[in-house]
Amino acid sequence: MLAAFVSIAQLVIVSISCMAQLNNEPVRAAWLTNVGSDVLASRTNIKNAVLVAKECGLNTLITVAWNRGYTQYTSHAMLTYFGCAIDPAFLGRDPLQELIEEAHQENIKVIAWFEFGFSSAYQDSGKHILSKYPHWASKDVHGIVLEENGFTWMNPFHPQVRNFIASLVLEVVKNYDVDGVQGDDRLPALPAKGGYDDYTVGLYGGEHNGRYPPANHLDSDWVEWRCKKLNDFAKELYREVKHLKPEVVVSYSPSIWPWSKQNYLQDWPVWLMEGYADIVMPQLYRYNLEAYQFILNETVEKVGRHQLRKVFPGILVSLADGYRIDEELLLKMIKANREAGIKGESFFYFEYLKTNTGFFKRNYIGH
């Protein structure tokens, strides 16, 4: 796994091809999730969601394909590793396939979103992953299995873990007519407190004359070493995807830079600059215009004007806790994107669109 070779020249050709396609139609998307939403609960709901997306002027739907230790599609890898081919909530169905069929009928693209990435569980869900493969766990400096904000983490430096996650992404590319795949702030990623498991300690020592990693998890060299390992994973995964289907877009939705690097070892501007991310949708999630404008300016400055054609910010429009963005604020955020030279965005998450189609019809289609 992760061994297929694609030449630099081929990667350049593939990247240019993908970007030409994207430049013709900037990404205007929303995330579909199985948390706080019933969109994926039935094919009828999926069909209705597609029609809402079309009415709102979207051309892309980003749908969850991996979270809480399960897939939301029929997975041969999950069946092999864990004896469970799909999230038990979807037994007898395949939401990813249903969405692809319904969306493509309306000329809407589908990106499969591997939401949990290297995180195996959230609170009590997904515990079966590390119960079966305890050596897959990432650990902190005290030797405790790494948990951050309720999420339990696998070790992204362990080859078995890397191959498992890669197998999920690659089987979707191979078996489904998806237009793209997406990692986010958990793929590839690891909370900076991680990396002290036996495997990673040994790997680090092998490259540093037997030395143990710095106890300070924010040590700059230690951060850089782990970031590079995650960058290597992203690069290899990109090559594997393009080897299978050159037209499939490789997308990421990381948290904002440099917070992403300092806290989750995601140096994602490198992915853009080195050519193994076709598009990036950084999570510019803020609750007021001033804060949004600040991180938008930071993003533009870091990425550079020449890379903006690949950047489509994520805007927070609603949450399961009841938060809903004010329409005037949303309009100003979209306007700020356009003034910065950014031609599209993605909205988290889809539920907001259900009751705000009028806003999008008035202010979004054609703008």
- Specify the pLDDT at position 9: 43
- Specify the pLDDT at position 366: 63
* Ranges of each domain in the chain: 8-363
- Specify the pLDDT at position 238: 98
pLDDT value at 169 more than 60: yes
Provide the residue type at 304 as one letter.
G
- Closest C-alpha to 6, from 253, 244, 326, 287: 244
- Specify the pLDDT at position 13: 43
Band of pLDDT at residue 365, cut at 50, 70 and 90:
confident
Phi and psi (nearest 5°) for 326? -70, 135
Cα–Cα distance between 346 and 28 in angstroms, integer?
6
Tell me the average pLDDT across 266-279.
Answer: 96
Tell me the average pLDDT across 102-129.
Answer: 95
Band of pLDDT at residue 25, cut at 50, 70 and 90:
confident
Band of pLDDT at residue 126, cut at 50, 70 and 90:
confident
Instruction: Give the β-pairing of 60-64 and 109-113.
Output: parallel
- Specify the pLDDT at position 311: 97
Q: Do the Cβ atoms of 57 and 366 come closer than 8 Å?
A: yes
Band of pLDDT at residue 105, cut at 50, 70 and 90:
very high
Q: Do the Cβ atoms of 184 and 117 come closer than 8 Å?
A: yes
pLDDT above 70: percentage of residues in the chain: 93
Q: Which two tokens stand for residue 314?
A: 């994520």
pTM for this prediction: 0.92
Pick the range with the lowest mean pLDDT from 14-28, 102-116, 335-349. 14-28
pLDDT above 90: percentage of residues in the chain: 89
Phi and psi (nearest 5°) for 316? -80, 115
For 8-363, CATH gives 3.20.20.80
* 277-300 pLDDT tens trace: 999 999 999 999 999 999 999 999
pLDDT value at 229 more than 60: yes
Q: Which two tokens stand for residue 14?
A: 């593939």
| Helix spans in the chain (H) | 8-24, 43-55, 76-82, 95-105, 127-132, 159-175, 198-207, 220-244, 259-264, 268-273, 289-303, 327-339, 351-354, 357-363
Band of pLDDT at residue 98, cut at 50, 70 and 90:
very high
How many Cβ atoms are within 10 Å of 307's Cβ, its own excluded? Answer: 15
- Specify the pLDDT at position 306: 87
251 forms bridges with which residues in the sheet? 182, 279
pLDDT value at 115 more than 60: yes
pLDDT value at 17 more than 80: no
Pick the range with the lowest mean pLDDT from 48-52, 112-116, 151-155, 363-367. 363-367
- Closest C-alpha to 326, from 302, 364, 356: 356
